[in-house]
Structure formats: C-alpha cells, structure tokens
Structure 1
Amino acid sequence: MKKVGYILITVGFLAGALISVLEVRNVQWGYFIAAFVFGASGIAIVRIIDKRHHRSEGKLSANLQTLRTSLAQIVEKMAELNNQKSSIHVYDMHKRIDASLPQAITAFADARQTIAHAYSLQDYADVMSFFAAGERYLNRAWSCSTDGYVDEMSTYLEKAQEQFIEANDKLSSLAA
C-alpha cells in the first residue's frame, strides 16, 4: 500500500509538471488540480501507513525494549568510563568514548519517538531533555579529551553520567 502512495506522489508530480509546461500562458487548471489531488492523496496514504507502522503493538514493544536496553548500556558504559578516567590518558579518552558508546546512543535515538507514541509528548520531552543534556556533556568531554583538558574532561564525563542516569530513571518510571 505504501508503494501505491509513492506511485501516486510520483504520478501527481510528473503530471503537474507536464501540465504546467504544455501551455505556459494558459495552464489547464482542472488537470493541474487533479494532478495535485493525486500527489496529495499519495502523501496522505504514505503518512497513514507510516503512522500505523510506528504505532503497531509489536513495533512499540520492540522499540521500548531497545530504549531501555540502550539507555542502560549507556549508563553502564558511562560508569565504566568515569571509574577508569584516572587510568586513561586524556588524549585516549575520546577513542574510548568512540569505541564504547555510539551504537547504544544511535539505537536510543532511532527508537526515541516511541516514548511519545507509548506514553505522551510530555514524557518524551522529559526523557529527551536529560538525554540531550547527557549527549552535550559527552560531546564536551570528547572535545576536552582531544584538546588535552583533563579537569574539564573529568567534569563533563561526570555531568554526562548524571544526565544519562536521570534519563534512565525517568524512562524506568514510565514503565512502572
């Protein structure tokens, strides 16, 4: 059905383009509007199918599990990095961050819309505020590592861990 929607979008666009250049001074508005309706109905079909897919029970359950698992992994990896930061050379910390966190962060980010679908937009905002702050602090720690600023790197790693813990706690409280 989604393919039908994309076909309607394509046909509507091409027909509208063709109609608009056949007679430049005298556009056949009836045909042009029909082409527009084809394209708009294709857009509507694609959006409806996408919305159904994102809100299906199986997809919601799988994404919620992905969210919980990936955020727990992030918190665990942040704790490890904070515990080991005194034994890791400042110029190597960004390599450790790159090696241990991107997959979990990407998995969480890819599934994040599920929070709004499963709970509410406010719950989504609450979790994502902490998560985004954690990401920003982690990026700052990464930058401090590449520049050799030991104290700042340590501070931002701790702040990132705190924010990710808050995000995890908020997400866990939604499930309870």
Structure 2
Amino acid sequence: MKPLVNLLVIGSLVVAVLGAVTAYMPRLSLPDDQLVGLTLGSDAGKDQAGKPLVPAKSKLTAEHLAQLRDSGAKRIHVREFSLARWSGLWLFLAGTAGLIAGSVAARRSRAPQAAASQGRTASVDDARRSLSEIRAVIADIRATLQTMDAAGASAIVLERIGAAQRDLVPAFLNQRPAIAAALGQARTAQVMERFAMGERSMNRAWSAAADGFTDELDETLSTADELLAQSAEHLARG
C-alpha cells in the first residue's frame, strides 16, 4: 500500500508543478487582446545575434507579439496572473487533488503506533512557536527593507525567506498530526489553508527578489504576514 501511495503523491506533485509553472507563462497562441499590455517577467525570444527580441519589464505590444511568434517562441513569462491565460490550470488542479488523495491514503495507512508516536513528539505549542518564528522573520525583513538598496533588499529576502522555507516551514508542517488531534479535521483545515496561502506569498516574495522586482517585496511580505496571522488565530483557539 505504501509504495502505491508514494507513487501517487510523487506523480501528483509532478503534475501539479507542471501545471503551476504555466501560471505566469501564457501561450503566444492566445489572442493579442489577452497579451497586449502585459509586463514581461524575463527576456523573450532571441534575434540572430542571440540578443533578446523583447527585454524583461517591457510592456507587450502587438508588434512584440508578432516578432515573438515569427521567431518560433511558444510561451512568454509575464508578471501578471490570470486564470483565463493559465493553460496548465487543470493539470494543477488534478495534481492538487492527487496530493490530497495521497495524503488521506497515507494517513489512513499509518499504523496506530506511528500515530501515537507522532502525537507524543509533536504538540500544538510547537506549531504555534514555529508559526511565530516565521512571522518574526517576515517582520524583521520588512523592517530591514526600509534601509536597504535594491540589491541588498533582494539579497536579504533570498537569504532569510530561503532559510525559513528550508527550516521553519517544514517544522510547522510536521506538527499537523498534533494540530489535528487537538483541533479536529475541520479546524485544522482552516489553519493549514491560511498557512498554505501565506507560504505561497512568501514564495512569491522570494521569486520577486530573485527576478529583481524589489518594489513588490514589502507588499507581498505584508500579505504573507496577514495570512499567517489568520492561521495563528485559528490555531490559538485550540
């Protein structure tokens, strides 16, 4: 049973990732009215000299689109999100559904001894502490951003958010069995839903820093903190 569950989870994750990467990469086959005016997130196309046909941060025009299509480009990376342009939406939803199904199957297949062991080694207090530590990192970054130039801002977000994603986020997620035991499945779903949304905003901040869009950092981190605060509120009721 366990190998099948692992296969389901891995396959679903691959499908979800394949769908997710197209969220900001619309097809050039879309009508011009869905693409004109969008801002490129990275260079698009190359001329014969190897230089980009349309550089990053350009506002797309009909002429740009014609050039890119003539060059053979199939997709472009833009900064704006739209469900209507998301060609991989159904892949993402299918992958997410598979991950949920795999998670449920894995939980049901665990031995009672393993569940008891998890309950002993994890606690809701640990989850609250992990969540507080993540929010403290975000607050510290936002305070520091006010005194830094663009390069420094990008560097600190990449370093601190990257460390939080590596250490603090998994530490919180590992407490889910304890949260479920204390709050029940419905309340746990509220905690985890808000946490997942906050984590996605953290990921967007990291991506913005990596791409050099430092003007988006404070707003994105503020959104992440608000969502994590909502998760903490649900958790505090336990």
Match of 1:105 among 161, 169, 172: 169
Matches within 5 A, 1:123-138: 123-138=187-202
1:72-103 residue CA offsets vs partner (Å, 9 max, x unmatched): 11111111111212224232121232245532
Structure-2 separation of matches of 1:70 and 1:45: 27
| Residue 128 to residue 100, structure 1, CA distance change in 2 (3 Å) | closer
Instruction: Give the superposed CA RMSD.
Output: 2.2
Moved more, 163-172 or 86-95: 86-95
Is the Cα–Cα contact under 8 Å of residues 137 and 160 in structure 2 kept in the other structure? no
| Residue 49 to residue 96, structure 1, CA distance change in 2 (3 Å) | closer
- Counterpart of 2:124 in structure 1 is 64
Task: Please list every run of at least 4 consecutive aligned residues from structure 1 whose deviation after the TM superposition is greater than 4 angstroms.
Answer: none
- Counterpart of 2:215 in structure 1 is 151
Relative to the length of structure 2, the TM-score reads 0.49
- Counterpart of 1:119 in structure 2 is 183
- Counterpart of 2:21 in structure 1 is none
Higher share in helix: 1
Q: Supply the AA of the counterpart residue of 1:65.
A: D
- Counterpart of 2:134 in structure 1 is 74
Please tell me whether residue 90 in structure 1 is matched to residue 153 in structure 2. Answer: yes
Structure-1 separation of matches of 2:109 and 2:185: 24
Relative to the length of structure 1, the TM-score reads 0.64
Q: Percentage identity across aligned positions?
A: 28
Q: Supply the AA of the counterpart residue of 1:157.
A: L
Structure-2 separation of matches of 1:102 and 1:135: 12
Please tell me whether residue 167 in structure 1 is matched to residue 227 in structure 2. Answer: no
- The structure number with the bigger radius of gyration is 1
Please tell me whether residue 141 in structure 1 is matched to residue 205 in structure 2. Answer: yes
Structure-1 separation of matches of 2:123 and 2:181: 11
Which runs of 5 or more residues in structure 2 are unaligned? 1-107
Which runs of 5 or more residues in structure 1 are unaligned? 1-43
Deviation at 1:123, TM superposition (A): 0.8
Deviation at 1:49, TM superposition (A): 2.1
